[in-house]
Structure 1
Amino acid sequence: MQTITQYTLTDQMDYQGTPVLNCQIRYPRFDTACGQDAQWQVNEFYRSMSEEKGAYCRSSLYPEAVSGLEYSRAGNFPFFPYEFDVGYNVTFNEECFASLYFDQYEFTGGAHGSTIRTSQTWDLETGRQLTLGDFYPDDPDYIKEIQEWIEYEIAGRLKAGPSTYFDDYPELLRSTFQAGNFYLTPEGIVIYYQQYDIAPYSSGITEFLLPFSGTDS
């Protein structure tokens, strides 16, 4: 198991005395006995990621927020500061393996903001980021089988209660499937879909657990 320390970058950006953008970026630092080179690689990955997101706030979102403020002033209607918030959740941390996901929330006006999820699963002996295929080394049809399992799960959810998915979810779950959209838990592999991929905004980020008992792990 690794020791994980959270670091936070915060920045409130003003324009002519008015706050227009609040940025908060949380990222982890790993301390592990599994491999010093691997530890450095993983920590550098997240340090660089946090710097890139900070640069995105300054170079992209801030000019947009200033334009939004000026537009609201010209139209004499309220302006709500833009928000950029990145947080993470460690879902697996055992022996020399760790898995986590990041949710990146942006609010740029309108009725609500949007969230994008990314995830990484690490072998902290080698510093290698594991892929979904690493858990199905002898199964060339694993993606097809996972998609069939997800379709079965959705059908069960719809029968059991008022779950909301788009009517054409069988096609969408295949066309929007991304093999990198997964993370580990002690119970198994979680596959997730982004907002609007297979369900309305109100359904959020949809998740499906594939128990380890059903994988080759």
Structure 2
Amino acid sequence: MNHRTHNRPVKTMTATVLGTALLLSAAAPFAFAAETGQSSAAPVAVVAQANGAIQMTTTVIKNSTNQLETDLEIPVLKGMKDAAYQNALNANIAARAKAAADAIAKQAAAGAGSDELRPYGVTVKAELISNGSAAADGVLSLRVLTYTYTGGAHGVTLAETYNVRNEAKASPIKLKDLFGANYKSIVNRAVQAEIKARPGDFFADQFRSIADDQAFYIKNGVAYVIFQQYEIAPYAAGMPEIAVVIPDGAAVPAGAVKLPVVANGQNVKAALYAAPGGTVMAPLRTVASALGYTISYDARTHQTKATKGNDWAKISAGLNRYAFKDMASFALGAAPATKNGTLYVPLDFFAKVLHADLAYTKQAIVLTSAPAN
């Protein structure tokens, strides 16, 4: 697939079609291949996954005529604990690919004999992002990209995602399950902070809120929210992804110590470093001050206090216990540490103790204060 050929997203299937898709058998991808009469529909195994992980093969369907080019790699999942859910999921994905291919084939036939120099086209590619193993916290996360071309300078790419708990009774994972009842507010603030940090990369004043069915995938304790082409950004931006740390999720993405920090829309001069074990550490005073906190030191108790209005948290160097106000304390990835005269705390201190929203992008680490209660 040519990922540079982006345009507006195509419409998704109707509820009626999706409902029918879930009733198909696990052999739907192979039945689809038989219908096309193609000889290249044999499953292609991907690299072997870790022990106990879900595996993905692909049913490859290719065809080329003067009117239409078809290049489908339809994913087929194996090894889920819930076989019935697995069968329905495989059938659903296959039915979506078939619907996309049928729609483009119909348009290609209708346009036969036109002056269009390039044939119409449909391409499907899939990526298994989280394999449902214990190491992946039992999360299956799959991204499917469908590219269609019906004339003009470039085609259309649509991203669809599937997130599932790999359990004896599997269930879909929604953003609400990850971030709670206020998930839209949490994710919206992360998106708004990213737009504010890079206004030239997005449409001005277009973003209002994520959708109820917003596409996203999960990797290493981080939810990556996907926006379709032209949804909030121009063609050159492709499909923007906004990363939001899942509470109690895994460590921050690799290379985070090299990223600049943006707090409440302002660039913060904060040098980060990785503590033993990989925990990213950030200077308390610099970052907390940007989030509206006042930092003070109590020489009697040897504690540092971050205060904003009625909210406060106390930090003791060398003691890996953190708490917000009088709530029960808990451990983070590392204890506070003093380096070159500056007190550092784990980066997720600002999210898990001070309750700021924390998001990672390719350009920055974005922290946004939650609204006052």
Same fold (TM > 0.5): yes
Is 1:148 aligned with 2:189? yes
**Which has the larger strand fraction?**
1
CA drift at 1:178: 4.2
SS where residue 57 of structure 1 aligns?
helix
Residue in structure 2 matched with residue 81 of structure 1 by the alignment? 119
Distance in 2, Cα, partners of 1:5 & 1:177: 29
Deviations 1:55-101 (A, max 9, x none): 5423x3223112323122xxxxx521111111112222232321111
Correspondence for 2:176 among 133, 139, 145? 133
Deviations 1:172-212 (A, max 9, x none): 242x5344311101140111111111111111101000023
Residue in structure 2 matched with residue 210 of structure 1 by the alignment? 244
TM-score, length-scaled by structure 1: 0.78
SS where residue 83 of structure 1 aligns?
strand
Structure 1: gaps spanning 5 or more residues: 73-77
Distance in 2, Cα, partners of 1:183 & 1:25: 21
Residue in structure 1 matched with residue 60 of structure 2 by the alignment? 9
> Between Structure 1 and Structure 2, whose CA radius of gyration is higher?
2
Asked if structure 1 preserves the Cα contact closer than 8 Å seen for 2:224 and 2:244, the reply is yes
Distance in 1, Cα, partners of 2:171 & 2:193: 32
Q: RMSD of aligned C-alpha atoms?
A: 2.4
Aligned pair count reads 194
Asked if structure 2 preserves the Cα contact closer than 8 Å seen for 1:29 and 1:43, the reply is no
> Higher relative contact order by CA 8 Å / sep ≥ 6: 1 or 2?
1
CA spacing shift, 1:51–1:136, aligned 2, 3 Å: closer
CA drift at 1:12: 1.9
TM-score, length-scaled by structure 2: 0.48
CA drift at 1:155: 1.3
1:12 maps to amino acid: N
SS where residue 166 of structure 1 aligns?
coil
Residues 107-126 of structure 1 aligned to structure 2 (within 5 Å): 107-125=149-167, 126=169
CA drift at 1:54: 2.1
SS where residue 244 of structure 2 aligns?
strand
Asked if structure 2 preserves the Cα contact closer than 8 Å seen for 1:39 and 1:127, the reply is no
Residue in structure 2 matched with residue 20 of structure 1 by the alignment? 67
Residue in structure 2 matched with residue 41 of structure 1 by the alignment? 85
Distance in 1, Cα, partners of 2:203 & 2:70: 33
Distance in 1, Cα, partners of 2:218 & 2:177: 12
Correspondence for 1:30 among 77, 81, 95? 77
Correspondence for 2:229 among 177, 195, 198? 195
CA drift at 1:43: 3.6
**Which has the larger helix fraction?**
1
SS where residue 152 of structure 2 aligns?
coil
Identity of aligned residues (%): 21
Correspondence for 1:62 among 105, 109, 122? 105
1:8 maps to amino acid: T
